[in-house]
């Protein structure tokens, strides 16, 4: 089943995303999913990522129905994202070349050529 974002409505701090669930034979079913915007701020989830996260939530469910992007889902996403960022930072740190005592000599030229001039 494929989910196509149709649009969204916002009622106070709740954003309601509308999707069309396109199944076999191009049959369409209208599905909505709600997310609390105050909770996404609490867990540091960017607003731009919310439609994709809602779509992933719908794709992970066995039945297609209206749903809520719950606080537990947001917390799980925040933990996963934090672990991925930590892993990328560790990977970045481990690939740094050792500091040389010859920093800057390449552009300064060798001491022998400077003495001859």
Write the pLDDT tens digit of every residue in 31-83.
999 999 999 999 999 999 999 999 999 988 877 788 888 999 999 999 998 99
| Residue 94 CA to its chain's centroid (Å) | 23
Write the pLDDT tens digit of every residue in 69-106.
899 999 999 999 899 888 888 877 665 666 667 666 66
Give the pLDDT band (50/70/90) at residue 107.
Answer: low
Q: Report the candidate in 53, 100, 51 with the shortest Cα–Cα distance to residue 80.
A: 53
Contact of 23 with 1, CB cutoff 8 Å: yes
pTM of the entire structure? 0.68
Contact of 29 with 36, CB cutoff 8 Å: no
Q: Which CA distances in Å does 64 have to 1, 14, 74, 91, 100?
A: 9, 21, 20, 39, 59
């Amino acid at each position: 089943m494929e989910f196509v974002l149709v649009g969204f409505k916002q009622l106070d701090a709740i954003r309601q995303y509308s999707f069309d669930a396109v199944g076999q034979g191009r049959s369409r079913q209208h599905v909505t999913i709600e997310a609390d915007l105050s909770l996404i701020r609490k867990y540091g989830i960017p607003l731009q990522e919310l439609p994709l996260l809602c779509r992933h939530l719908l794709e992970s469910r066995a039945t297609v129905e209206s749903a809520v992007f719950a606080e537990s889902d947001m917390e799980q996403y925040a933990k996963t994202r934090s672990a991925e960022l930590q892993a990328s930072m560790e990977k970045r740190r481990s690939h740094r070349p050792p500091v040389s005592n010859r920093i800057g000599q390449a552009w300064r030229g060798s001491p022998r050529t400077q003495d001859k001039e």
